[in-house]
Amino acid sequence: MEKAVIISDISKNYKDVNALDKISLEINKGELFGFIGPDGAGKTTLFRILVTLLLPDEGRAIVEGFDVVKQYKKIRRISGYMPGRFSLYQDLSVEENLRFFASIFKTTIEENYDMIKDIYVQIEPFKDRLAGKLSGGMKQKLALSCALVHKPKILFLDEPTTGVDAVSRKEFWEMLGGLKEKGITVLVSTPYMDEAGLCDRAALMQKGKVLDINTPENIIRQYPHPLTAISSDRMQQLITDLRAHRDVFSAFRFGEKVHCATASDTVDFADLQQYLESRGHEKIAIERIKPNIEDCFMALMKA
């Protein structure tokens, strides 16, 4: 399969911080690829290298056949980039922002309207409103339109849904699916583990390293432990007590439950119940559950 991005042993350091540690991966053309991880994982640093705003200390990266160091001008012409923070001109209107970004690439809104129309129709009623006066969801749609107005081959979106409401997040990912259908390669970073399931493949990142790269289904399928959801009347103490149990591999709070991974192949509910009762817990509920991406991420961190 033809590759849109090839990353080979990319490293980047900021004084004593190792932001990227020999990252290597490949992304297929037309793929919706996610970089999933918390703040400090290295997602933004990697994106800034791929869009030629930052030089790597070591390694090499190729974007659509062009070297990010030697051929940076060519990459900038065929890439769309939406940084994490809203970076458009807040004292310009919606339409003025779009026309300005189109002019940078020597094109017009009208010439490439087919690329942005599905998104732009949602913000066109507010085309005369200043960008700084838009809601969070509308700002993201404007920023995405500006990143697409020159018909890029590849799109880099750095945490595009951070800080927007759940409905806007859902709409945004639906728009990304539409862009993928148009043949655009989409790279998106996010701290939201549930968004990994919306990608064709995802790279789970932590502290400058890639923990795993796979389809969301395969990441979950490879989860190595029996998993239970447990609750009691003493939730804070529950985590401590579970982690002290001889057969417990990990225990993490998920809302009103604790997800408990056991080291043995089977879960002895009666043993767990008796153990927790001996520690003073009451109203104990234990049920077997399937892992999610966040459970997998936690397991990889402990591996």
DSSP E strands in 125-268: the ranges are: 154-158, 185-190, 201-206, 209-214, 227-231, 248-254, 257-262
11-20: long-range pairs with CB below 8 Å, 24+: 11/56, 11/57, 11/58, 11/59, 12/42, 12/45, 12/49, 12/54, 12/56, 12/57, 12/208, 13/57, 18/207, 18/208, 19/45, 19/208, 20/45, 20/46, 20/49, 20/56, 20/208
Q: Fold identical between 3-219 and 223-302?
A: no
Model pLDDT for residues 21-33, shown as the tens digit of each residue: 999 999 999 999 9
pTM: 0.90
pLDDT-derived band at 74 (thresholds 50, 70, 90) equals very high
CATH class of 223-302: alpha beta
Residue with tokens 């579970």, as numbered in its chain: 242
Model pLDDT for residues 172-206, shown as the tens digit of each residue: 899 899 899 889 999 999 999 999 999 999 999 99
pLDDT at 222 over 70: yes
Q: What is the pLDDT of residue 99?
A: 94
Q: What is the pLDDT of residue 303?
A: 65
The ranges assigned to domains in the chain are 3-219, 223-302
CATH number of 3-219: 3.40.50.300
Model pLDDT for residues 136-172, shown as the tens digit of each residue: 888 889 999 999 999 999 999 999 988 778 888 888 8
Q: What is the pLDDT of residue 103?
A: 93
